Each structure stands twice: as C-alpha cells, then as structure tokens.
C-alpha cells in the first residue's frame, strides 16, 4: 500500500498506530475507511475540475452510494 492509504487505514483502525500493541482489525471501522477514501478522492476531483463539472461528479457519486447496503 502507498503511504497515504496506510495513513487512512491507521485512522480507521485497520492498522495499529506505530508503536502500539493494539490489534488493528478489532477496532477497524470499514465505513470510516471508505468515507475517508471517498472524501479525499472528491477533494482531488474538486481541484481538477471547474465547479460546474465537479457538482455533476459529486451528484453522481452521491447517487451511486445513496442506496448502498453497508451493513
């Protein structure tokens, strides 16, 4: 994994913080991990597109995940 994905995984609890004796998967919040990835991706998209195109992409992403079964 690249370092940014490692950072997001640590933030979501998948990988224990450096120097920790914690077991990672016990505290892993997969919803948070997914949200962090989507949020960061949308920030990248926002920096690359004009605002009117970004809004179209953001709406498409929201619609795509709106009814997703995350249980």
38 and 65 Cβ atoms separated by less than 8 Å: yes
Is 54 inside any structural domain? yes
Residue 62 lies inside a defined structural domain of this protein? yes
| More confident site: 33 or 21 | 33
Q: Which has the closest alpha carbon to 41: 11, 5, 1, 67?
A: 5
Question: Residue 31 belongs to what domain range?
Answer: 3-66
Please state, for a pLDDT cut of 70, what percent of the chain lies above it.
Answer: 76
How many structural domains is the chain composed of?
A: 1
Residue 41 counted as domain residue: yes
pLDDT in tens, 3-17: 888 888 888 888 766
pTM > 0.75: no
Please check whether residue 9 lies inside any domain of the structure. yes
* Any domain includes 71: no
């Amino acid at each position: 994994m690249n370092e940014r994905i490692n950072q997001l995984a640590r933030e979501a609890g998948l990988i224990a913080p450096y120097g920790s004796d914690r077991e990672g998967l016990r505290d892993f919040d997969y919803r948070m991990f997914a949200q962090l990835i989507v949020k960061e991706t949308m920030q990248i998209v926002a920096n690359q597109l004009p605002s009117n195109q970004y809004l179209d992409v953001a709406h498409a992403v929201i619609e795509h995940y709106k009814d997703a079964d995350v249980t």
